[in-house]
């Protein structure tokens, strides 16, 4: 391969590593690669020759750079974006748009444009019976039209003084206590600017309730033989296939659950358990659900599975479930060539585990903000409500179904 082509590839890899780990956004890899792709395209059609690459290798270079752009979102401005095929279905919010900035500036009289502005942030719990009686504190990220991000865990009369009239901001956030409704392309049109956010008090996992039904979706599954080891039983033979439904309920008033993902884990003589509704999209398993201890009482006791790994799926958009609300989904249940049987120890059980997981907006280690059910950092840790994936028995946010 030509040395110049190798140099371009090496430069692309170095820039990707640099931008990913240093978090620099002012010169993104997509921008540089798009410029390179344009130069190669112009050179290919003889407009001019700016790059010292032999003609016979220009096509190879075009294909390589084009594929990288396609799978990193570099062509998203013309509707071509396969980046979701690599990153799963993660929702990545953008900074305020240039169109929003232009509209904002045009709406402000010239004598008031560019004046110093104080933004006062208040978050109000919409699940409360009196949502505006007092503000609450939660975690938010405030992104301006230049991509700068301000993080704050104070949303009770919190003042920001680094803005001017004509600036445009977007707000995302959430934590284990509250879900934050995103607000995008907000025009700061006055010097004293109130920023009121709608948030929703998150339900504790113990106040979620899962009820599972047979393949008709109407008859409740049989209770587990040992209620301390499993929640339900399904009678199934070797190589057998069946299905069941699970209904998730917010089982308390004035709380919400931002449902986004489901995880399933199969063990021993149960081979498969996957959601059957077409709304779910399979995504890579984050580290907090991969190779973890899973037990009936403790994730580290002698009856725990030492290296349990969940498979995971996400919805196209999160569903904010409010007080008493329910959602019901179908799952398949398939056995191996060995006949499942009742087992006394959790680690030996022929079982499937289903966990319903919430999502929030969090900032990743690359500086970008993501909506997902895990944090985009090295640990890929859980976000939002503290789920029970490592001790799933109990029919709250997780449920254990044994094949017998």
Task: Answer whether 392's CB lies under 8 Å from 352's CB.
Answer: no
b/e sequence 243-260, b meaning 16+ C-beta within 10 Å = bbbbebbbbeeebbbbbb
302-343 pLDDT, tens digit per residue, is 899 989 999 999 999 999 999 999 999 999 999 999 999 887
- For the chain, domains (ranges, CATH) are 3-87 (no CATH), 98-201 (2.60.40.1120), 205-403 (no CATH)
Among 74, 399, 157, 362, smallest CA distance to 262 is for 399
In this predicted structure, what is the pLDDT of residue 328? 98
| Contacts (Cβ under 8 Å, ≥6 apart) of 5 | 53, 57, 60, 61
Residues 6+ apart with CB under 8 A from 397: 205, 208, 210, 248, 355, 356, 357, 385, 387, 388
Q: Are 92 and 369 spatial neighbours (Cβ–Cβ below 8 Å)?
A: yes
pLDDT in tens, 198-249: 999 999 999 999 999 999 999 999 999 888 999 999 999 999 999 999 999 9
CA distance 249 to 323: 8
Least confident range from 54-63, 174-183, 250-259, 367-376: namely: 54-63
| H helix or E strand, kind and range, residue 169 | strand 168-173
User: Positive or negative CA dihedral for 334, 336, 342, 347?
Assistant: negative
**What integer best gives the mean pLDDT of the chain?**
88
Token digits of residue 384: 């939002």
| Nearest-5° Cα angle at 109, 104 to 113 | 65
**pLDDT for residue 5:** 53
Q: What percent of the chain has pLDDT over 90?
A: 71
Is 66 in a helix, a strand, or coil? helix
Q: Are 351 and 343 in contact (CB under 8 A)?
A: no
Q: Tell me: the pLDDT tens digits for 73-116?
A: 556 555 454 444 334 457 788 789 889 999 999 999 999 999 99
For residue 30, pLDDT over 90 is answered with no
Q: Model pTM?
A: 0.78
CB-neighbour burial class of residue 159 (10 A; exposed 0-12, middle 13-18, buried 19+):
exposed
Phi, psi angles (nearest 5°) of residue 289: -115, 10
**What gap in Å lies between CA 13 and CA 36, rounded to an integer?**
14
Residue the block writes with tokens 């190879």 = 60
Q: What does the DSSP 8-state code read for residue 7?
A: H
- CA–CA distance, 26 with 24 (Å, rounded to integer): 6
């Amino acid at each position: 391969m030509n040395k110049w082509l190798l140099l371009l590839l090496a430069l692309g890899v170095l820039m990707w590593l640099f931008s990913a780990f240093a978090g620099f956004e002012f010169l993104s890899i997509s921008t540089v690669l798009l410029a390179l792709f344009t130069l190669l395209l112009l050179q290919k059609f003889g407009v001019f020759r700016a790059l010292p690459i032999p003609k016979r290798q220009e096509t190879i270079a075009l294909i390589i750079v084009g594929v990288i752009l396609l799978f990193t979102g570099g062509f998203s401005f013309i509707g071509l974006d396969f980046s979701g095929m690599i990153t799963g279905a993660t929702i990545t919010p953008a900074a305020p748009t240039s169109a929003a900035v232009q509209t904002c500036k045009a709406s402000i009289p010239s004598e008031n444009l560019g004046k110093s502005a104080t933004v006062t942030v208040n978050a109000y719990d919409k699940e409360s019976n009196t949502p505006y009686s007092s503000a609450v504190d939660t975690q938010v990220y405030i992104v301006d039209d230049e991509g700068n991000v301000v993080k704050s865990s104070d949303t009770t009369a919190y003042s920001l003084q680094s803005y001017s009239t004509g600036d445009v901001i977007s707000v995302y956030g959430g934590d284990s206590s509250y879900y934050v409704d995103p607000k995008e392309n907000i025009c700061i049109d006055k010097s004293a600017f109130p920023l009121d956010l709608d948030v929703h008090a998150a339900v504790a996992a113990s106040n979620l309730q899962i009820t599972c039904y047979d393949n008709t979706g109407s008859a409740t599954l049989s209770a587990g033989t040992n209620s301390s080891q499993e929640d339900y039983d399904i009678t199934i033979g070797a190589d057998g296939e069946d299905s069941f439904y699970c209904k998730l309920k917010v089982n308390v008033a004035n709380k919400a659950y931002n449902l986004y993902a489901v995880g399933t884990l199969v063990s021993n003589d149960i081979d498969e358990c996957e959601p059957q509704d077409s709304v779910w999209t399979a995504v890579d398993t984050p580290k907090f659900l991969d190779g973890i201890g899973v037990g009936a009482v403790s994730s580290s006791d002698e009856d725990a599975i030492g290296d349990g790994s969940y498979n995971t799926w996400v919805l196209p958009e999160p569903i904010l479930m409010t007080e008493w609300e329910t959602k019901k989904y179908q799952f398949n249940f398939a056995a191996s060539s060995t006949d499942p049987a009742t087992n006394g120890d959790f680690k030996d059980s022929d079982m499937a585990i289903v966990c319903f997981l919430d999502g929030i907006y969090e900032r990743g280690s690359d500086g970008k903000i993501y909506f997902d059910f895990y944090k985009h950092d090295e640990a890929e840790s859980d976000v939002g409500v503290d789920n029970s994936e490592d001790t799933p028995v109990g029919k709250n946010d997780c449920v254990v179904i044994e094949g017998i």
